[in-house]
Amino acid sequence: MGVSTINLIATGNVSPCRFVKETAQWQGAQASATTDVCCGVSLQFLRSPNITGAWAITENYIAIAGESIPLIGAGETGLLEAGAAVTAGARLRPDTSGRGVTAAAGESSYAIAWETAAAAGDLIKVLVWPDNVGAA
């Protein structure tokens, strides 16, 4: 699993293993709509916050506003958090939290499930593969 050469700066908080969309030139955010056009999936690990004062990690993000978003791009494999049960081989699109759900016929998809998810919250291996069949 490699890290994509796409380098987007976060415009807000991005959770790990979520679909990422480009919001402006060289800027990106976690997908937040089922119709978002996605360019990749955020990596699994958490960011390393600057620790000043009391030592406590209270955030669960891979990037926050102003930071680079490490992501998996087209043709690469990685982990995606499922937003519902998913069957291996399904074409996936984002839900309103950037998690992967099965795309209906005619909808754009941005990854292919390589594993089955039993329920929302499961992490599954995917191939990032944008297929804008439903894009206008």
Tokens of 84: 């519902």
Q: Identify the CA nearest to 113 among candidates 98, 135, 129, 136.
A: 129
Lowest mean pLDDT among 3-12, 13-22, 55-64: 55-64
How does residue 136 score in pLDDT terms, banded at 50, 70 and 90? very low
How does residue 129 score in pLDDT terms, banded at 50, 70 and 90? very high
Mean pLDDT of the residues in the chain = 88
Residues whose CB falls within 8 Å of the CB of residue 87, separated by 6 or more in sequence, listed in order: 102, 113, 116
Compute the average pLDDT of residues 87-111: 96
Phi and psi for 93 in degrees, rounded to 5?
A: -130, 170
